[in-house]
Structure formats: structure tokens, C-alpha cells
Amino acid sequence: MSTANEVATMEYVRDVIGHPTPRILAWSSTPEARSAVGSNFILMERINSVALEKRWLNTFDEDIGAVIWKMLFLDLALHQRPLSQIGSLFFKEDVSPELQSKSLYLTEKDNEEPAAEKYRIGPVVDRQYWFNGPVEGDRGPWPDMLSFIQATCRLALQKAEYQASSAVSSSPSPGSLLSRSKPSDLPELRRLLQQCISMTPHIIPLECGLTAPYLIHPDLSGCNVIVKPSRAAIVVSYIDWQGAMALPYLQSISLPEAVLYEGKLIPMPDDPFALPEISLDLPPELKEQADLELRLAKRQRIMSRVLLQKLPLRLQAACLPSLPDVALRCYADGPQLLRRLVYRLCDM
């Protein structure tokens, strides 16, 4: 499923959304193709350019502006067409007959487009929803945010119970050994996840715009944005769409990891429309490093500010916590994050 999802998503983004992705030369679309190679595969065109991370620190802002604007327009384009369900994108023939009968888009107008006949939403293929072990569960697609979050929490509970039992078995899995939780944390995790399931109907926004599903890139980091090697950093392709899925709007608005400021010298203003500045009491020996970090911080804030101006709903969505990610990682990360999230949800 993961291979079929990635191929369909790249073709959809290129042909429907209008942004560059690698062209697929061949892939394991049939059992015969898989058996001939011995595994699932995707053969893509070669792209003779460089990853954005190679240019991010040593390229003038004027040249970096090209990639920032292209990523901004990709975000806006992906949020133009709400999809009908929460899940992963596939070609129509790669999902069950039941799912083939569902519409691709949420609105009748969008379903008149040619793409509405070619693609469908199917089960989620994100790796967090799949784990070793004979564990059945609801992996979508889901018709609304309520069923999505509740099913995710139930699956997270199954995942935690599986990892806890694996940790005390004679042959524990690597994941269970590396987890911050212990089997003794399972009762608390079970209680917290049940609380999340019970609270979900009361925390979902009534505003339909906040819950409509939109397709997003799962990891738009500097290594997955391919740009020209010199002068203006023009986007040549967006790669690694494995695990891409349609998520509720309020969970699809994170800034690309590629533009996130990770320094420590520049404080980001509380006002989301204000640009960051260098602190007046900064020691002189840190001035050169601070100048570089200021440029990086401004890049993040400029993209964020423009998106907020174009889509004001983002500001409201940014105030809501992302429950599914925290739930699915509750055993790996320990109960603290989930506990803190439940307290926050109780205060909403």
C-alpha cells in the first residue's frame, strides 16, 4: 500500500496541484512486477540538482526567497481542495470497490474535475499506524475528525499494550526496549487514552473549515526539497512523499521543517506578524552568529506571516493541540507528554 500511495500522491501533486515531483518511470503496480524484482519498487527520473539543506545556510536571502515562495504556494495549493475523507491517496483501482464508490473531494464542484475520477482516499499508510505484531485495527479512511481521533487513540492503546507485552517477553522488540515507558506505565496510558476518546466529541471545533481534510507532505525537510545548485534556489522537485495523507485542516498547517528556525540567540516575538530582532544585551562575541540566526529566524517568520495573511483560519488552528501524534507515540515517549496534553484538553 505504501508504494501505491507514494506513486499516486506524486502524480497527483504534479498533474493536479501543479508542483514538481519526480516522474515515475516504473513501479510495482502488479504482482508480476513485484515478483520479477523480488520486492516493491519505484523507478524515478534522475534529478540533477541539490537538496535545499546544502544551500540554506550559505545562500543570500534574495536567492533563498525563490524556494520560500514556492513552498508557500505549494501550501496554498494543497489547501484549495478539501478531500472527502481522512486517509492516504491512491489511484482508484488500488482501493476496494467500496472505497471506489466514494467521492474524492468534499464539494460537488471539485468532483467535476478529471482528477476526481482517477484518485481515491484509502487506508492510512503512515508508519506510526503500523507496527510489528498481529494487531488488527481501524486504519481508515475516516469520514470525519471524530472517528479519526477516536480510532487513532484506540489503535495507540493496542500499540502500547503490544509494546508493553513485548518488553517483558523472552524476545522483546527493539522498539519496546528503546521506549521511555515501562510496562508498569500501561495502566496510566490506558486511562489517559480512554480520557482522550471520551473528550474528543467535546474538543472538535464546530467550524467545518478547521476539520476538512487536506493533503500534506509528511516531511518537507531540507533534504526533500530539491533546488537549483546556484543562483536563485528555484524548486526543481519535492521528493519523499511516502506516508503522505489527508489530515484535518488544523493538523495540516505546520510550517515546512526546511524553514524552521532552530537557533537559540534570536527570540521569536509573541505577535505572529512581528519580525524577530537581535537582543540589545547580546554579548559582542556572539554578534556574527546572531546575524546569521536572525536571517534564518526571519525566513521562518516571513513564510508564517504570509500564510496567516492569506489564510487567517491558520491562526485559530494553531491554538489546537495535535492529539493523534502524541497518542501514537505515548509508549515510546513515556506518559508525560500525553498526561500534559490531557490536562491541556481539560482546560479548553
pLDDT for 36-55, tens place per residue?
Answer: 989 999 999 999 999 999 99
Read off the pLDDT of residues 250-275 as tens digits, 9 standing for 90 and up.
999 999 999 999 999 999 999 999 99
116 has pLDDT over 70: yes
Task: Return d(Cα 243, Cα 127) in angstroms, integer.
Answer: 7
Q: What is the pLDDT of residue 315?
A: 81
Task: Answer positive or negative: Cα dihedral of 18, 19, 25, 26.
Answer: negative
Give every CB contact of residue 319 below 8 A, 6+ residues apart in sequence.
none
What gap in Å lies between CA 240 and CA 183, rounded to an integer? 35
Alpha carbons 301 and 315: distance in angstroms, whole number: 13
Q: What are the tens digits of pLDDT across the range 287-314? A: 999 999 999 999 999 999 999 999 888 8
Question: Does residue 104 have a pLDDT over 60?
Answer: yes
3 state DSSP class of 42: strand
More confident residue, 163 or 242: 242
Rounded mean pLDDT of the chain?
92
C-alpha cell at 276: 524577530
3-state helix, strand, coil in the chain (%, to 5): 50, 10, 40
Q: What percent of the chain has pLDDT over 70?
A: 95
Residue 50, phi-psi category: left (phi > 0), alpha (psi -120 to 50), beta (remainder)? beta
pLDDT in tens, 133-157: 667 789 999 999 999 999 999 999 9
Reported as type and span, the H/E element at residue 26 is: strand 24-27
Which class for 303: exposed (0-12), middle (13-18), buried (19 or more C-beta within 10 A)?
A: buried
Contacts 24+ apart (CB under 8 A), 201-206: 201/146, 203/320, 203/345, 203/348, 204/145, 204/146, 204/149, 205/250, 205/316, 205/320
Please list, in sequence order, all residues whose beta carbon lies within 8 angstroms of the beta carbon of residue 12, skipping any fewer than 6 positions away.
89, 115, 119, 215
Spatial CA neighbour of 149 closest among 193, 84, 185: 193
Pairing of strands 235-238, 50-51: unpaired
What pLDDT, in 10s, does the model give residues 164-222? 887 777 566 666 556 778 889 999 999 999 999 999 999 898 889 999 999 999 999 99
* φ and ψ at residue 220, rounded to 5 degrees: -85, 65
pLDDT at position 182: 85
Could you tell me if 27 and 10 are in contact, meaning their C-beta atoms sit under 8 angstroms apart?
no
pLDDT value for 345:
85
Residue 277 has pLDDT above 70, yes or no: yes
Cβ 1 vs Cβ 242: under 8 Å: no
Phi and psi angles of residue 116, each rounded to the nearest 5 degrees, phi first? -65, -20
Residues in the chain: 348
pLDDT at 4 over 70: yes
25 CB neighbour count, 10 Å cutoff:
10
Contact 64, 230 (CB under 8 A): no
User: What is the Cα–Cα distance from 162 to 143, expressed in whole angstroms?
Assistant: 27
**CA distance linking residue 344 with residue 331, whole number of Å:** 19
Residue type, 46: R
pLDDT for 262 = 95
73-88 pLDDT, tens digit per residue, is 999 999 999 999 999 9
pLDDT range class, residue 16, cuts 50, 70, 90? very high
